[in-house]
Amino acid sequence: MSEFATFNAHPAAPVRAESPLAASRVGVAVQSSAQGAGVCIGERALLGHLILRGKAADEGFRAGVEAALGVPLPLKLGPVARDDARGVSVQWMSPDEWLVVVPEAQDHETELRLRAALSGHYAVINVSGAQTLLELSGPAARQVLMKSAGYDFHPSAFPVGKGISTTLAKSTAVIRRTGEAQWELIIRRSFADYLYSWLLDASEEFGVFVAR
Amino acid sequence: MLHIYCPHCEEYREEEEFRPKGEAHIARPIDPVNTSDEDWGDYLFFRKNPRGLHHEQWFHAAGCRKFFNATRDTVTYEILETYKPGQQPAVTAESRKAQASAQASNQGAAK
């Protein structure tokens, strides 16, 4: 293991942590239950997000990542590698960049595992504080995305499992399809309030329920 | 809106996801110290502005955030091909000329 400086963002003493959406105030009519709602929006706040960079052509790198994360490294745009039981996912972002999402408070430990398993020219960056994950579900969830982004959300172009990065409502977002009517959006902290308000506004006509 | 093929993502994406980044294949002078001011000025500031085929760089800003090259017709705005940096274009002024003359001779043979 080479020399490196790491930072544990989860210190022993309790520190007040706030989701990027903590201050969002939205004035749309929200349904009181998920029953009959066209769209269900929920945030999975404070997950661990890591950006991993390295050479996909390097066999040692691929093997190290798989050993550290327990899921194979996806080598092209398409399905997100997932282990739902452990809440770990690895998404191809570009030919030398991947997004790793792990459960809350496991980011530091995951970074240490990756650093122990990797060597040479690579990078692991903890971006947990920079973005948050929204879950969008319901029969009209796809229509909300179609209203908001230019990407083709038809099942032939966007099958279950696929993950992409694209423009969403003049901002950018990582969009992943986790089920027939289930989607995950990973949005930046600085755009979180805007995009959350946009999604609620775009969902209002279908009946929207906010899961807490 | 244009549909542009990203050679890294290997699929077509909306033009909105991309940023044009100017002329491609600009070689930095190998020996800057012994390069004349005129050549260095040309390298830094002077760009082609062709009517017709243009090889240019594009940036997939909202997707993979990688650069790639495109051959675009500045008259019709048609993007004829996209390819990764370091690769050479398949469609060039010469290849177009050769294609046009081949077509002309085919038509001559048909008559």
Q: Which domain holds residue B29?
A: 3-110
Do residue A77 and residue B66 have CB atoms under 8 angstroms apart? no
pLDDT at A31: 81
The predicted-structure confidence for B59-92, as pLDDT tens digits, reads as follows 999 999 999 999 999 999 999 999 999 999 999 8
Structure confidence at residue B99 as a pLDDT band (50, 70, 90): confident
Nearest by CB to A94, from B13, B17, B64: name it. Answer: B64
Write out pLDDT tens, residues B13-52: 999 999 999 999 999 999 999 999 999 999 999 999 999 9
Which pLDDT score, from 0 to 100, does residue A10 have?
A: 79
Q: Pairing state of beta strands A30-31 and A208-211?
A: parallel
Among B9, B59, B60, the strongest candidate for a mutation testing the A interface, having the largest count of A CBs within 10 A, is B9
Name the token pair of A16.
């007040």
ipTM score for this prediction:
0.84
Residues A106-147 have pLDDT tens digits of: 999 999 999 999 999 999 999 999 999 999 999 999 999 999
CATH number at residue B12: 3.30.2270.10
Which residues from B are below 8 Å from A75, CB to CB?
A: none
Percent of chain B with pLDDT over 70: 96
Nearest to A167 among B8, B9, B17 (CB): B17
Which residues on B lie below 8 Å from A97 (Cβ)? 64-65
- The tally of domains found in chain B comes to 1
Assign a CATH topology to domain A30-211: Gyrase A; domain 2 (3.30.1360)
Identify the segments of chain A with pLDDT beneath 50.
none
Contact B9 A77 (CB under 8 A): yes
- B89 Cβ under 8 Å from any chain A Cβ: no
**Of chain A residues 63-82, which have a CB less than 8 A from chain B?**
76-77
Cα A204 from Cα A123, distance rounded (Å): 41
User: B17–A164: do the CB atoms touch at under 8 Å?
Assistant: no
Asked if A94 lies within 8 A of B14 by C-beta distance, the reply is no
Res A82: pLDDT: 95
